[in-house]
Each structure stands twice: as structure tokens, then as C-alpha cells.
Amino acid sequence: MRNRGFTLIEVVIAMFIAAIMFAIGYGAINQALANRDELNASQERVNEIQRGMRIVAQDFAQIVMRAARDTSGTGQLMPAIYATGSDNTVLTFTRGGWSNPAGIQRPAEQRVRYRFVDGSLLREHWLAVDPALNTEPRQRIVFTKISAVEVRFLEPVSRSWRTDWPAISSSGPVTSLTVSQMLLTRPLAIELTVVFEDWGRVQRVFEIPT
């Protein structure tokens, strides 16, 4: 018996079926890769937000009532916690608990400032609580892709929220008798609201240690 080979039509049909199967498989692989990239991007975004909130929580948990000199050139004594609610500086404060595993000669306290600039929340700190005039702080990005940031302070007497701090503004020179009232007052809590471009509004309330 003579062996039969494949006819031209059979070869063409087999190639056509193989091409269809390859196209389906290629599309599925492309979709899987796209889904993986989207998943990785989403996970990185989640990690960024969680990491940023952890940084803020650690800062607020370590707030101390320590006034500091202004670095803009005036040398004025500034409150331990300071916010005007009117410019891109969200909040300035002094925190303790600055770890020093390398044993560098520096204080355990740190002057910290949060600023909202170009869609990002920046954390800035100085190497000294009372740095030299016009000293540039060190900077890191806490959040990206945000459209708004707001802080509010829970006033301990009236138990009402306000967007500026301290509650009592300075009307004259600070003296030893008025320093506690004018510069070292603390709120009961700080409320942080961040509006993300992709996540929407996220709000947290941090109790301030006494």
C-alpha cells in the first residue's frame, strides 16, 4: 500500500488553525502581562500610601513641646507646633525619638516641616532643632499624585477643630511667663486629610501625646 502524504488544502487548513491558536494565545499572554503590570503598579501605590501614613504617624506620635528658632532669617522663636492654614507649608513641629544608630553628634530632637508642592507632600527636616539661619533642610517625598492636603487641630478647651495653630497668637514679645501659653500649647489631636488623584479622599486622626 502506498503511503499518502498531506494535500495542499490540508496543510493550508492546519496552518490556518495554528495561526488562529497562536493569535488567541498571544492575546492572552499580552493581557496577562498588562494585568501583571497594572497589579504591580497598584501594589506599589498601596505601599507608597501605607509607608507615607506610617511616616506621618511616627512623626505625630513623637511630637514634643520644644519651640525652635525660625530659619527664614529673622531668628524669631517659633511655636513647637505651627500652622497658618494659608500657604504651602502644611505643618511645622518638633519631634523627639530621632534614632541615632551611628552615634553621630546631634540631638535626639528634630525640627520637621511638611509642605504641599506640585502635587506631592514633602517632609523636610533639619539636622538641628535651632539650625543656622537660612539652612536648607533635607527632603523626602511622602505622597505623590495628590490634589489637596489639609490639617486640623482639636483645641483642648473648646473641643472644636481649627485649621491654624497655636490657638493663641503672639501679640508681643515672648517672656518666661507667656512662653508656655504662646509657644508650647498642644492640640488634643491632629486630623490629616489627603485627597489622592486616584484613591480619592483619605482622612486620619492622630492623638497627640501629653
| Closest residue by Cα to residue 125 from 139, 135, 105, 107 | 139
Q: DSSP class of residue 168?
A: S
CB 106 within 8 A of CB 166: no
- 36 inside domain: no
- 179 inside domain: yes
pTM over the 0.85 mark: no
CA separation for the pair 33, 69 (Å, rounded): 54
Q: Which grid cell sits at 49?
A: 500610601
Model pLDDT, residue 5: 64
Model pLDDT, residue 119: 94
How many domains, the chain? 1
Its domain, for residue 196, covers 55-207
Give Cα 96 distance to the centre of its chain: 19
- 41 inside domain: no
Model pLDDT, residue 69: 83
What is the chain's pLDDT, residue by residue, as a tens digit (210 residues)?
A: 455 666 777 777 777 777 777 777 777 777 777 767 777 888 899 999 999 999 999 999 999 988 888 876 666 788 889 998 778 899 999 998 777 666 666 677 899 999 999 999 999 998 888 877 767 899 999 999 999 999 999 999 889 999 999 876 655 555 445 566 667 788 999 999 999 998 899 999 999 987
Angle at 64 between CA 60 and CA 65, to 5 degrees: 130
Residue 134 has a CB neighbour count (10 Å cut-off) of 8
- 48 inside domain: no
- 119 inside domain: yes
- 142 inside domain: yes
Model pLDDT, residue 109: 87
- 136 inside domain: yes
Model pLDDT, residue 1: 47
- 44 inside domain: no
Instruction: For residue 79, say if its preceding peptide bond is cis, omega within 30 degrees of 0.
Output: no
CATH number (domain holding residue 64): 3.10.610.10
